Structure 1
Amino acid sequence: MINNIKISKNFYLSEFECKDGSHQVVVDSELIDKLQKLRDYLGQAIVINSAYRNESHNKSVGGSPNSQHLKGKAVDLRRIEGLTIDEMVAIAEDAGFSGIGKYNWGIHIDVRENKARWDMRG
């Protein structure tokens, strides 16, 4: 992998690449710190479905025009085995994430300036 650089105890830069194949990556250091805190608390791997998105990829996946993914400040995490979505949210809140969204597939977490919560489960 092009960005196979370790950026914390458990994360590699490649995990934050845009999923369009361009290998573009932007990642906020606060996001890394809080993700590592979350990972340390869980004691198990967490799977990042989506992290940085460039504008064209964000549009193609139906992302918000003001998405935190565009700034490298957000990740979508696949549902963690043995935890409910609400349990994942509680752990993310304890880790200090300001933006948290609930989805059927997992949660969106970010380090935006203001607190935001939403539930898109159907």
Structure 2
Amino acid sequence: MRAPLVLGAALALLAVMAGAFGAHGLRGAVSERSLEVFQTAVSYQMYHAIALVLVTLLSGLALNRRLLGLAAGFFLAGILLFCGSLYVLVLTEIRWAGPITPLGGVCFMVGWAMLVAAAGWQR
């Protein structure tokens, strides 16, 4: 399970870059509220990038790899849908992206539920 590690590390790097862009490049260009929304996206991206790395580390334990893989997939989908839609909202003001955000949040929750299930799975 190297893919979640690579994706997690790359998405963490991108979160740091996005955070720097938000702090320096967007200040004064967008409203304070938009900066808060952008920072929320950056934070959730970092949390779930770290979760992808965690999934890789946990795959070495006697946990259900299928459930870990599902968790990783849902974390990735959450990053794309939740964080991606918030980035689109702030950077383009395209309002149709707003209804996508909760779908990403659900993906995050399902990912964590899969991780709980993987940890509780008895072989």
* Both proteins in one fold, TM over 0.5: no
Larger radius of gyration: 2
Greater relative contact order (CA < 8 Å, ≥ 6 in sequence): 2
When normalised by structure 2's length, the TM-score is 0.26
When normalised by structure 1's length, the TM-score is 0.26
Looking at secondary structure, tell me which structure has more strand per residue: 1
